[in-house]
Amino acid sequence: MPKPAFVVPCPCCQAKLTIDPELGAVISHEEPPRQRSTADLGSAIDQLKTKSAEREERFKQQMQAEAQKGQLLDRKFQESLKKAKDSPDPPKRRYDYE
């Protein structure tokens, strides 16, 4: 006689899991009902506008950082070149150790 399947709540998301004891596997999964985060359409639109403005601001910041990236790399190269010229010994090459 087959054992009946039993329902267990998921500990992390509270979904209902139907488990077959003979197979020891989940045979069905039912998600918990989702709660709405906004009460009305007006507040949802305001949240979308706010998030859109935040995305635009982050995009502008990244564009500025990307525009200055060339200058930053050039300064790092110039500083490394200056250190290399000031160094009395040339850097060791891999085949110098052999």
The string of pLDDT tens digits covering residues 49-82 is 999 999 999 999 999 989 888 888 899 899 988 8
Chain centroid to CA 23: how far?
A: 36
Evaluate if pTM is beyond 0.85.
Answer: no
pLDDT of 10 reads 87
CB 85 within 8 A of CB 77: no
Q: Which residue, 20, 21, 37, is CA-closest to 29?
A: 20
pLDDT of 44 reads 85
CA distance 77 to 15: 56
CA distance 87 to 94: 18
